[in-house]
Amino acid sequence: MPTFSEIHEKVESGQRLSAADGEYLFSPEVDPHAVGELADLLRRRKNGEAVFYNLNLHLNPTNVCVFRCAFCAYSCDVGDPRGYTMSDADILARGREAARAGCTELHIVGGAHTEKPFEWYLGIIRRLHESFPDLHLKAWTAVEIDHFARISGRSVRAILEALIAAGLGSMPGGGAEIFDAQLRRKICPRKADADAWLDVHRTAHRLGLRTNATMLYGHLETAAHRIDHLIRLRDLQDETGGFQVFVPLKFHPANTAMSSLRPASALDDLRVVAVSRLMLDNFDHIKAYWISLGVGTAQTALAYGADDLDGTVRYERIHHDAGADAPETISVDRLRELIVEAGREPIERDSLYRRVRRDENRVS
Ligand code: V47
Ligand code: SF4
């Protein structure tokens, strides 16, 4: 069993933490604030005083999904009165709204619709890109890409190439959940498994597409599951270097098949952020997604290893349908204020973490 001072020494001298170190940092006898302080050391080494945010809007084109994961409150079956599928006009209107609001990014994810062919998803990217070429389209999780490959009979590589040619800018990190196969069989048995998820990201990275990574925590997983997940991400990052940011996603149980579970505590949230920062030594950024954590915990997470708050958002459905009590949107002024209050320097970024300079009205 490692000791805290040995781990401290490793972090100070830039050595990589082992699985045993990571599991130890999750144990209740280790003070979460001490873990946070250690993570803050690494955060400062990587990002100095900078904390990033962006201006974005969400677009969830449909909530009809073939997979119906047990933790998902957002999805429904085809024919369910709660189901919706946006029209082309509504999708373009969302793009227009984003462009008019000065957003740099549209975050696009949704259900794997029972009846929609790959061409429908491809067309969404093509039309949005043609109409709003300056808007970065961060779209489709690895689970959706894997689904497109299955329903079209094309390879993952061919799907990604077609999407990139149509205007895809990068991929969000969703669908990773928790990689352990046994747990996946319980919470999301029907969709892409860990190897398929990782392989989509590997292929994307080889094609030059930057992607994000997530982990859904606070349900049935153990510390060992969390560490296994983080190490698999770290291994792929060693191989490709294509991940930009890691986003821990707190499980919200309301309206799901797992609604009897109690959400993780704020201290567990902060510990997950901190251990993620420490284990993922080859990731540049750790995001405290304020929709998932709530604004207060996200702000506090800036002292526990996080250096990014995500964006202005609006129209987020997946976490709000599951009971997340974060507001629908947040103003740029408030985001900047939260960062300044935490003693850091707010930096607007684009989807590829380049600084956005508003006064010159261009990305540098
Ligand atoms: O894949 C679903 C998760 C993800 C619930 O890449 C839930 O920057 C909590 O991936 N409670 C979609 N989480 C969201 C996502 C994301 C969000 C923000 C930024 C980025 C990024 C990615 O939400 C899903 C799933 O893992 N999810 N249901 C729930 N009840
Ligand atoms: Fe479908 Fe994603 Fe919800 Fe799973 S989490 S049911 S894949 S929308």
> Tell me, what's the pLDDT at 363?
43
Which three-class secondary structure state does DSSP give residue 67? Answer: coil
CA-closest residue to ligand 2 atom 5:
72
> Tell me, what's the pLDDT at 342?
98
> Tell me, what's the pLDDT at 361?
47
- Residues 6 or more apart whose Cβ sits within 8 Å of residue 156: 145, 146, 149, 199, 200, 203
Q: Is any atom of ligand 1 closer than 6 Å to the C-beta of 99? A: no
- Residues 6 or more apart whose Cβ sits within 8 Å of residue 364: 354, 355, 357
Q: Is any atom of ligand 1 closer than 6 Å to the C-beta of 139? A: no
* CB-based burial label for 29 (10 Å; 0-12, 13-18, 19+): exposed
Domain count, the chain: 1
Q: Report the share of the chain in percent with pLDDT over 90.
A: 95
Residue 188: pLDDT band by 50, 70, 90 thresholds? Answer: very high
Q: Which residues of 258-278 are buried (b: 16+ CB within 10 A; e: fewer)?
A: beeeebbebebbbbbbbbbbb
> Residue 139 CA: which ligand is closest?
1
Q: What's the chain's Rg over C-alpha atoms?
A: 19
- Look at residues 140, 168, 137, 54 and name the one whose alpha carbon lies nearest to residue 102: 54
Of 178, 188, 215, 216, the residue with max ligand 2 atoms within 8 A of its CB, to mutate for a pocket test, comes to 188
Averaged pLDDT for residues 254-267: 97
Rounded Cα distance, 31 and 340, in Å: 26
Q: How many CB atoms lie within 10 A of CB 218?
A: 21
Of 64, 71, 72, the residue with max ligand 2 atoms within 8 A of its CB, to mutate for a pocket test, comes to 72
The answer to whether 347 and 340 are in contact (CB under 8 A) is no
Rounded Cα distance, 342 and 44, in Å: 13
Rounded Cα distance, 234 and 250, in Å: 20
Q: State pLDDT tens for residues 109-123.
A: 999 999 999 999 999
Residue 362: pLDDT band by 50, 70, 90 thresholds? Answer: very low
What the block records as the tokens of 151 is: 């329903």
Please give the DSSP secondary-structure letter assigned to residue 333. H
Q: State pLDDT tens for residues 26-85.
A: 999 999 999 999 999 999 999 999 999 999 999 999 999 999 999 999 999 999 999 999
CA-closest residue to ligand 2 atom 8:
111
CA-closest residue to ligand 1 atom 24:
174
> Tell me, what's the pLDDT at 317?
85
| pLDDT exceeds cutoff 50 at 166 | yes
Of 58, 114, 143, the residue with max ligand 2 atoms within 8 A of its CB, to mutate for a pocket test, comes to 143
Q: Is any atom of ligand 1 closer than 6 Å to the C-beta of 249? A: yes
> Tell me, what's the pLDDT at 360?
52
> Tell me, what's the pLDDT at 328?
86
The residue segments making up the domain with residue 9 are 4-363
Q: How many CB atoms lie within 10 A of CB 28?
A: 9
- SS3 per residue for 225-279: HHHHHHHHHHHHHHHHCCEEEEEEEECCCCCCCCCCCCCCCHHHHHHHHHHHHHH
Strands 56-59 and 345-348: unpaired
CATH number for 207: 3.20.20.70
Q: Report the share of the chain in percent with pLDDT over 70.
A: 99
The answer to whether 6 and 242 are in contact (CB under 8 A) is no
> Residue 143 CA: which ligand is closest?
2
| pLDDT exceeds cutoff 80 at 293 | yes
Residue 196: pLDDT band by 50, 70, 90 thresholds? Answer: very high
CA-closest residue to ligand 2 atom 7:
67
